[in-house]
Amino acid sequence: MATRTILMADIIGSRRRSPEKLMEQFSGVCEAANQEFRTHLKSPITITLGDEFQCVVGSWESGVDLILFLEEEMVRRDLAFSLRYVLSQGDIGTRVNPEVAYGMLGEGLTRARETLESSKRSDSRFRFLDGPEPSCGLLNRLFVVYAALRDAWRPGKDLPLVAHLIKDPDYRSVAAAVGKDPSQIWKRKRTLGIVPYLELRESLRSVARMP
């Protein structure tokens, strides 16, 4: 059996939302991630139970990058729902399906799913399991800070501007793009914590690359 990097996620509070609209949005995010990470996925993001997905990623580092992409894709699309994630490493005893993440069995998949289920009883949106140390332990701590920054942004109010500032942190050019006064965008950039967010994002990527 080979040790694989497994990512699973589910939608938080999916039963409280319109199922048709939610599935359309969720599917769109997953499709965008599959396209962006097609060379890094051993088995693509596959929606399994309507409000959950699983995939097999080529590396631990790529798994962290995929989580960050998914979060920022939801910012770009100004979506109101949140995802709960488990990134883990473990054995998959069967052949990894390169077309769809179905029909695979192994202890790694079982542990990841059990952890995702148990995470529903906690406040943590991000869990890292059985990965390389010290990366795994540090990611569990640092993503608490990441979630505090990310989850403070309000859909419909903050996310459109955040998307602009993540793409281009120059508040002057963003102000010109959105037709606002530069001083107003400068203040919003500070209150939204864009600089700390961008620094933290790069730190997370560095931690994921730890040998």
Question: What is the reported pLDDT for 29?
Answer: 98
Q: What is the mean pLDDT of the chain?
A: 95
Q: What percent of the chain has pLDDT over 70?
A: 100
pTM over 0.75, yes/no = yes
- Confirm whether 141 is domain-assigned: yes
Domain that holds residue 96: 2-150
Q: 3-state secondary structure string, the chain? A: CEEEEEEEEEECCHHHCCHHHHHHHHHHHHHHHHHHCCCCEEEEEEECCCCEEEEEECCHHHHHHHHHHHHHHHHHCCCCCCEEEEEEEEEECCCCCCCCCCCCCCHHHHHHHHHHHHHCCCCCCEEEECCCCCHHHHHHHHHHHHHHHHCCCCCCCCHHHHHHHHHCCCHHHHHHHHCCCHHHHHHHHHHCCHHHHHHHHHHHHHHHCCC
Say if 175 falls within a structural domain. no
pLDDT band at 14 (very low <50, low <70, confident <90, very high): confident
Taking only the tens place, the pLDDT of each residue in 69-113 is: 999 999 999 999 999 999 999 999 999 999 999 889 999 999 999
Q: What pLDDT score was predicted for residue 209? A: 97
Q: Decide if 195 is inside a domain.
A: no
| Count of structural domains, the chain | 1
In this prediction, residue 19 carries a pLDDT of 86
Q: Do the domain assignments include residue 7?
A: yes
Residue 136 within any structural domain of the chain: yes
Structural domain contains residue 100: yes
**CATH, residue 79:** 3.30.70.1230
